[in-house]
Structure 1
Amino acid sequence: MNSESTIQDFLEFAQMVRGCRPKTAEAYAIDLKVWKTFCSVHCPQVDNPSKAKVVVDYIRYLRVERKNASAAIGRKLATLSAFVDFLILMELLDSKMDEREKWPKLLDTPERLPVVLDNKEMQSILAMPDTTTILGRRDRTILTLIYSAGLRVSEVCSLKTTDINRKDGRILISGKGGRERYVPLDPTVDEAIQEYLSSRSSSIPELFVSKKGGALTPRAIQFMVKKYAEDAQIDKQVTPHKLRHTCATHLLQEGAHLVSIQKLLGHKSLTTTQIYLHITIADLKELSKHHPMHKMRAQLGLMGNPVQSFQSPYGTKTGT
């Protein structure tokens, strides 16, 4: 049931029948490889992938041995569930044996505030590439593009020269799940792109070219961003996705509407954008200055220190 041929049949079914994107099928393949590794060590004779006791052991394996967080475990369980659906559909597993209702529910992991660069840090990174070289001009273009439009690293890699529409001032983006959208072509980005293209000799359709002449990969961009952050002596773990988040957060701080940011980022749901963005403590303190309560201070007799100025009409409090 966990044979290589059965898994391969499932992956083909996911793409050819369900219509999954290649990257989704690739994620399925990775997750099922982890499942096979677990089974080979802990339960080589398993004949029912939905068996609750086996899944409990699988979750323990993912947490303890692979150090996976709840989000990663949830994704792997979703893949396993899709695999179980396939086995039942193909009559390789009796639906009466389906124990997914017994699977334990994962508790939500505490949310951590995402890393965001401030304006000074962002300027430092943008100033790092050596624009006297073709690679430096390429890198500066990528950095300004991610920061101005909040692109995902995969979207940057898939960009083609024909996606840049200077006449209309917009860029066509092939986003997550095959969804397309347009983002504005910022004048600074436009200038950087034209300067880069004027010195680029490759004939491949992709906009960004590697040192060897092929299309640039996500890993290459991740390495490049990390290098420039270290060169700028920024004491944060900086990734392309954090630059995307920095773009969105800075727009929010400047008063951009959340729905507009959702459209820019290519989020299918506004809920995703609300989770993705955050307001810093500094923003909240600044916001509190505009609260109507501040205009009432004179009427309330709170011109100085609120604690010292306020006198209770009931005299001194002696007990509860």
Structure 2
Amino acid sequence: MKLDPLPQLLRMFFTDWMVQQRNASQHTVKSYRDTWRLFLRFVAVRCGKPVVRLTLSELTAAEVIAFLHHLESVRGDTIGTRNCRLAALRSFFGFVATREPELMAQCAEVMNVPTKKAPIRAPDYLEPEEVQAILAQPDRSTLIGQRDHTLLSFLYNTGARIQEALDLCPQAIRFEAPGCVRLYGKGRKERISPLWPETVALLRSLLKRVPRPADAALFVNRYGSPLSASGVRFKLAEYVKAAAVDVPTLAQKHVTPHSFRHATAVHLVAAGVDVTVIRSWLGHVSLETTNHYAQANLETKRRALEQVEKPKTDSPPSWRRDQDVLDWLDTL
């Protein structure tokens, strides 16, 4: 009896294709792994059998579509997350198509499952007074409070993604003036971000209190293990709730660690920093992403409007003076 190729193909996909041939980052591999964990368990429940008994022929486009619907309707995932999960599944079936030609039709059906368009909303950023209110919440007399205040200040200074900040090691920081930090973003892209003297002082003080090896994570929990993104979100929610007492507008916002990245971008735009500099600062691949923040800043729009020469209003427009607007249109 011929064994089903699914287990072997999955191993080859992750060990040979993803790691060796594509040289995918650790974060990408973990993301794809999590997608396949969810997908296989979902299909196993629908088929009424354990995961180990699933066959490749059962992983059809219909199952993929049902899985994507499950992500949004049951798990409450965003359209962006849904599309990322689909990308992981597509990648595998594209890999399978090159090794199992007889499954080409099945793979093509999965590859043709479309991504879903999501409405592009203006980022929900924090105002400067809201940022300061949140930063004032951690009790800096305690080690945990000092760590949290330093981490949040670092996020606001650099606009770093949360994982970029949690991966930070002391050797990536230049403490001498001018202070800066080396960050590693999506796709292993490297960038240099300037540091304010105040941020350098915070980082230096934290390292003095809790010395860390040069190549070890700087932000750790009470047991010395690197902080998790979920742990940061949990602590941040407590600080936001406390800060909302003094700044009520925070109660209306969904604040996450990524909100500090949005705040950094919008505040740089408001300060008049060129968008190409902001793009480099934040590590954006496309300038369109950076321009999104320029469109979101109402204060910048207001200042621009004030600079526009106001039309003279001594007389009404010519089309208002004309008795018949059609006569005016005929003159054009």
TM-score normalised by length of structure 2: 0.81
> Gaps (5+ residues) in structure 1?
none
* Cα RMSD (Å): 3.1
CA contact (8 A) 2:94 2:111 kept: no
Find out whether 1:210 has 2:221 as its counterpart: yes
The correspondence for 2:235, drawn from 213, 224, 229, is 224
**Structure 1: distance between partners of 2:109 and 2:293:** 30
8 Å contact kept, 2:269–2:293 = no
Counterpart selection for 1:287 from 280, 304, 310? 304
Tell me what 1:112 maps to. Answer: 121
Using a 3 Å threshold, how does the CA distance of structure 1 residues 89 and 171 change in structure 2: closer, same or farther?
same
Q: How far 1:269 sits from its partner (Å)?
A: 2.3
In the superposition, relative to structure 1, how do residues 269 and 98 fare at CA in structure 2: closer, same or farther (>3 Å)? same
Higher helix share: 2
Moved more, 266-275 or 52-61: 52-61
Is this contact kept in 2: 1:150–1:248, CA < 8 A?
yes
- Give the drift of 1:244: 1.0
From 6, 11, 27, the counterpart of 2:9: 6
**Mapped partners of 1:54, 1:215: distance in 2:** 37
Per the TM alignment, residue 282 of structure 1 is displaced from its structure 2 partner at its CA by: 4.6
Do residues 184 (structure 1) and 194 (structure 2) align?
A: yes
| Alpha-carbon contact 1:39-1:46 (below 8 Å) kept | no
The CA distance in 2 between the partners of 1:197 and 1:226, in whole Å, is 25
Q: Shift in Å at residue 213 of structure 1?
A: 2.2
How far the C-alpha of 1:240 sits from its partner, in A, is 0.8
Task: Report if aligned partners of 2:68, 2:82 keep a CA contact under 8 Å in 1.
Answer: yes
Q: 1:274 aligns with which of 283, 291, 294?
A: 291
C-alpha distance in 2, partners of 1:214/1:34? 27
Matched AA of 1:178 = R
Alignment length, in residue pairs?
A: 311
CA deviations 1:213-266 (Å, max 9, x no partner) are 233332222222222111211312211100111111111111111111111111
**1:73 maps to which residue?**
82
Alpha carbons 1:301, 1:310 under 8 Å: kept: no
Task: Measure, in 1, the Cα distance between the counterparts of 2:34 and 2:294.
Answer: 29
Among candidates 135, 138, 145, match of residue 144 of structure 2: 135
> Match of 1:198?
208
What SS is found at the alignment partner of 1:32? helix
Moved more, 35-44 or 148-157: 35-44
Percent of aligned pairs with the same residue? 25
Aligned residue type for 2:314: G
**Which one-letter code corresponds to 1:38 in the other structure?**
F
After TM superposition, give the deviation of residue 146 of structure 1 in Å: 0.8
**Cα distance, 1:123–1:278 mapped onto 2, change above 3 Å:** same
Q: In the superposition, relative to structure 1, how do residues 81 and 101 fare at CA in structure 2: closer, same or farther (>3 Å)? A: closer
Q: How far apart are residue 46 of structure 1 and its match?
A: 6.3
Indicate the SS of the match to 1:219. Answer: helix
- Are the aligned partners of 2:191 and 2:283 in contact in 1 as well (CA < 8 Å)? yes
* CA separation of 1:140 and 1:265: change in aligned 2, threshold 3 A: same
Q: 1:251 aligns with which of 268, 291, 313?
A: 268
